Amino acid sequence: MRLEKYRKDFPILKIKINGKRLVYLDSAATSQKPKQVIEAITDYYQNYNANIHRSIHSLGEEATKAYEEARETVAKFINAEKPEEVIFVRNTTEALNVAAFGLRKIVSTGKILLSEMEHHSNLIPWQQLAKINNAKLDFVGFDQDGYLKIEELKQKARNAKVIAITQASNVLGTINPIKEIAEIASDAIIVVDGAQSVPHMPVDVQELDIDILAFSAHKMLGPTGIGVLYAREELLKKMEPFIFGSEMIKEVSFNNASWNDLPYKFEAGTPHIAGAVGFKAAIDYLQKIGMKNIRRHDQEITDYALKKLSKLVNIIGPKKAKDRSGLIAFTMNDVHPHDIAAILNEDGIAIRSGHHCAMPLHTKIGINASARASFYLYNTKQEIDLLVKSLEKVKRVFEK
């Protein structure tokens, strides 16, 4: 990884916070954007801004071409069998809601199995579906080191109609064995929350043998407001659309309507065209570096951070970098995570504090909140050293 070369592509990394150069360690919340993505979005608005799939004029045709090229790029990136299996939505949350709503008739009564480490976005939609359908909602736990209890999953996966699980926990950092889970529960619909995995490692939906995958552009160098719902074609054909209106229809009368072909059946109204353009630019940037290289960098910097932080804070989740994504959630005895984040901000260091939209997980491990430092391709070991130095200041302040 030619870190200094890549860092120059991110204009925001040059700014100062409280007179100190920004150290951005909050990429699990949203990543920063390289100039290539910013320029692609600007180029769209300046040179071929138009609505898509509606006009035969030149701007409309160019915008439509760019939008569909973005879909093709996403499909290749995750190795979907065809572009029609890629649905553009606003974000991972919307993708998971569309999935849960679309499966409501397919699932009917039955078991929906989740893990206890899920983000609210991969908990509440299934929770509500279970209530509507009078289905059984069950959970697989994790051990004291943050690893999913696979033997428990094997028992509970029996007769499960849906298994919805994160590939990488946004708190524990744990990378779950999705392919193994898909093999264990081959009769269930496997839904994967890829918000924290797709930006950081190679994800091949065919190799994993999963049915549904959800992820967002803004966590992988792209713009906010656009994400992806991937689902197998045969499943998408059975699922009901979540949003109704223009472009998602084939025929409409005053009393009835029929749905458009895939993927447009799930894309009602004017989409985030500029977002799709920026998304493609982000994927092009990531692929130029190589997802294996990004994963390798994540492991190296996480391993370095784990060693540096282990004597200073209480680390949550696996202690081995190879088993976790590029983030570390932690506590410092009686110091509130918000106080930690506030003092770090004085030194220009941006981290996250709170329950990270995973309240049940925090309750399970007996804490109300945690601090979280998360890394990406533009972070350096020197920035980890600055984090450690600032955390030592936190410790001194609260030891007085």
Tell me the CA distances in angstroms from 354 to 115, 172, 280, 318, 341, one per residue in order.
20, 14, 32, 20, 10
CA distance 76 to 71: 9
Q: What b-and-e string marks burial along 158-170, b requiring 16 or more CB atoms within 10 Å of the CB?
A: eebbbbbbbbbbb
Judged by DSSP in three states, 9 sits in coil
Residue 357 falls in the annotated catalytic set: yes
Of the residues 17, 150, 257, 357, only one is catalytic, namely 357
CA distance 205 to 212: 8
- Three-class SS state of 154: helix
Pairing, β 86-89 against β 227-231: antiparallel
DSSP string covering 75-120: HHHHT-SSGGGEEEESSHHHHHHHHHHHTHHHH-SSEEEEETT--G
Interior angle at CA 198, CA 148 and CA 36, nearest 5: 155
Counting every residue, how long is the chain?
A: 400
Residue 273 CA, chain-centre distance (Å), reads: 20
Which residues are registered as beta bridge partners of 249?
259
Classify residue 230 by its DSSP letter.
Answer: E
- Helix (H), strand (E) at residue 354: strand 352-354
DSSP 3-state of 259: strand
C-alpha dihedral sign at 196, 201, 203, 209: negative
306 neighbors 319 (Cβ within 8 angstroms): yes
Q: Specify the amino acid at residue 302.
A: T
Residue closest to 332 by CA, chosen among 351, 349, 309, 350: 309
- How far, in Å, CA of 192 to CA of 122, rounded? 9
* Residue 168 vs residues 178, 250, 274, 300, 342: alpha-carbon distances, Å: 10, 38, 28, 17, 27
Q: How many helices (H) and strands (E) does the chain have?
A: 15, 17
Catalytic residues: 357
